């Protein structure tokens, strides 16, 4: 499973394709395809439909079930594909090179599986049920391998993981000093450490204080190197925006909230700690 991640010969085509997808004028639909309103990546949720349909069709085929039902399930899987593919491509375009290579092989495999199911549907419709079954089972096998590679991409290569999930657990549980209040100029993100955890401190011009995990939940970019825009901090790597008031993403590709620490001013010092009920 690790092998495609090393296929650097894929980089020129991957880069061009990623630039093309990023330049598409998708507007807010891009965030919907990432899953920002859901608070969860959309692609793994959508992919259940075609996989479920094609698995069910395969079960009917191997158990001598109704061929018409298998045909309908094959067609339903194909009809459900466009949002699955769009959400996958939009997520893929924001990945680092090794993950993009694996993602490209994952996509090629998915398209192959879908084409086999399309051929299966044609064969069934033209009165060749046996050929249709064989093509359908081949397609489902390829889709199974595609799903395994997708799992590798999401978990082993952490393309779908929230990269700041452990920060509350790793930070000291009690109040911890971050510096004198004068050390933090207004509206400038400043990087500090809360024990082992890097955090970004924002002292608002209205004298508000925000301490977020510095490591972006999307792909671990440093928010302290980002910009403040409309009450949010924007990651410099793929431009996810997190609301300062609660850490929630208002612009993808990140879908998970940025961990936000409690703050207090003690004398002339800023202190922070993980929330008691995160
Ligand atoms: S690392 Fe991708 S948006 Fe922050």
Average pLDDT over residues 2-13: 92
Confidence bin at 229 (pLDDT 50/70/90): very high
User: Which one is predicted more confidently, 255 or 161?
Assistant: 255
CA 172 / ligand 1 centre spacing (Å) = 25
Confidence bin at 186 (pLDDT 50/70/90): very high
pLDDT for 277 beyond 80: no
Position 45 scores a pLDDT of: 94
Position 64 scores a pLDDT of: 87
Average pLDDT over residues 26-46: 94
Task: State the Cα–Cα distance between residues 188 and 205, nearest whole angstrom.
Answer: 10
Q: What does the CA dihedral 241, 99, 29, 142 come to, rounded to 10 degrees?
A: -150
Average pLDDT over residues 167-195: 92
Position 1 scores a pLDDT of: 81
Query: What is the position in ligand 1's atom list of the atom closest to the CA of 220?
Result: 1
Position 267 scores a pLDDT of: 87
ipTM summary value? 0.99
Query: Which is nearest to 228 in space by CA: 209, 207, 202, 260?
Result: 202
Confidence bin at 58 (pLDDT 50/70/90): very high
CA 19 / ligand 1 centre spacing (Å) = 16
Residues 216, 240 contacting (CB under 8 angstroms): yes
Residues 251, 243 contacting (CB under 8 angstroms): no
pLDDT for 278 beyond 80: no
Position 2 scores a pLDDT of: 83
Max CA distance (Å), the chain: 83
Average pLDDT over residues 1-11: 90
| pLDDT 10s digits, 74-116 | 999 999 999 999 999 999 999 999 999 999 999 999 999 999 9
Position 111 scores a pLDDT of: 96
pLDDT for 206 beyond 80: yes
Q: What is the DSSP string of 31-78?
A: HHHHTTTTTS-SHHHHTHHHHHHHHHHHHHHHTT--HHHHHHHHHHHH
Q: Token pair for residue 61?
A: 């085929």
Average pLDDT over residues 62-72: 91
Cα 117 to chain centroid distance, Å, stands at: 27
For a pocket test of ligand 1, which of 34, 253, 255, 256 has the largest count of ligand atoms closer than 8 A to its C-beta?
Answer: 253
Q: Which residues line ligand 1 (CB under 6 A)?
A: 216, 218-219, 221, 235, 237-238, 240, 253-254
Instruction: Please tell me the CATH superfamily of domain 167-273, with its number.
Output: Rieske [2Fe-2S] iron-sulphur domain (2.102.10.10)
Q: Token pair for residue 45?
A: 């949720």
Place of tokens 């024990």: 195
pLDDT for 160 beyond 90: no
Query: What is the position in ligand 1's atom list of the atom closest to the CA of 239?
Result: 3
Kindly report the protein residue whose alpha carbon is nearest to atom 2 of ligand 1.
Answer: 238
Peptide bond into 253 cis (omega under 30): yes
The proportion of the chain whose per-residue pLDDT surpasses 70, expressed as a percent, equals 100
Task: State the Cα–Cα distance between residues 113 and 139, nearest whole angstrom.
Answer: 4
CA 162 / ligand 1 centre spacing (Å) = 11
CA 249 / ligand 1 centre spacing (Å) = 11
What are the structural domain ranges in the chain?
A: 3-156, 167-273
Confidence bin at 164 (pLDDT 50/70/90): confident
pLDDT for 212 beyond 80: yes
Q: What is the DSSP string of 67-132?
A: HHHHHHHHHHHHHTHHHHHHHHHHHHTTS-HHHHHHHHHHHHHHHHHHHHHHHHHHHHHTT-HHHH
pLDDT for 145 beyond 80: yes
pLDDT for 269 beyond 80: yes
The proportion of the chain whose per-residue pLDDT surpasses 90, expressed as a percent, equals 87
Using DSSP bridges, classify how beta strands 260-266 and 190-194 pair: parallel, antiparallel or unpaired.
unpaired
For a pocket test of ligand 1, which of 90, 96, 221, 256 has the largest count of ligand atoms closer than 8 A to its C-beta?
Answer: 221
Confidence bin at 180 (pLDDT 50/70/90): very high
For a pocket test of ligand 1, which of 97, 159, 219 has the largest count of ligand atoms closer than 8 A to its C-beta?
Answer: 219
Burial of 157 (0-12, 13-18, 19+ CB in 10 A): buried
- What angle separates helix 67-79 from helix 97-125, to the nearest 10 degrees? 140
């Amino acid at each position: 499973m690790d092998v495609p991640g090393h296929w650097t010969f894929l980089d020129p085509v991957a880069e061009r394709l990623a630039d093309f997808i990023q330049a598409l004028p998708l507007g807010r639909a891009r965030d919907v395809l990432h899953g920002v309103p859901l608070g969860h990546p959309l692609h793994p949720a959508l992919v259940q439909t075609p996989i479920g349909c094609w698995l069910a069709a395969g079960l009917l085929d191997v158990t001598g079930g109704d061929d018409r039902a298998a045909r309908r399930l094959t067609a339903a899987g194909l009809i459900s594909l466009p949002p699955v593919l769009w959400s996958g491509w939009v997520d893929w375009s924001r990945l680092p090179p090794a993950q993009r290579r694996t993602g490209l092989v994952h996509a090629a495999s998915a398209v192959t599986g879908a084409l086999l199911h399309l051929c299966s549907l044609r064969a069934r419709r033209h009165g060749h049920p046996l050929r249709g079954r064989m093509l359908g089972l081949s397609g489902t096998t390829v889709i199974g391998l595609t799903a395994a590679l997708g799992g590798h991409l999401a978990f082993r290569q952490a393309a779908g993981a929230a990269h700041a999930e452990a920060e509350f657990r790793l930070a000291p549980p009690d109040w911890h000093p971050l510096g004198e209040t004068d050390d933090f100029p207004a509206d400038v993100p400043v990087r500090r450490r809360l024990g082992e955890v890097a955090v970004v401190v924002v002292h608002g011009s209205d004298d508000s204080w925000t301490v977020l995990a510095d490591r972006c939940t999307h792909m671990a970019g440093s928010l302290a190197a980002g910009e403040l825009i409309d009450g949010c901090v924007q990651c410099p790597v793929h431009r996810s925006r997190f609301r300062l008031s609660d850490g929630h993403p208002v612009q993808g590709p990140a879908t998970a909230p940025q961990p936000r620490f409690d703050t207090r001013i003690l004398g002339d010092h800023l202190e922070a700690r993980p929330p008691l009920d995160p």
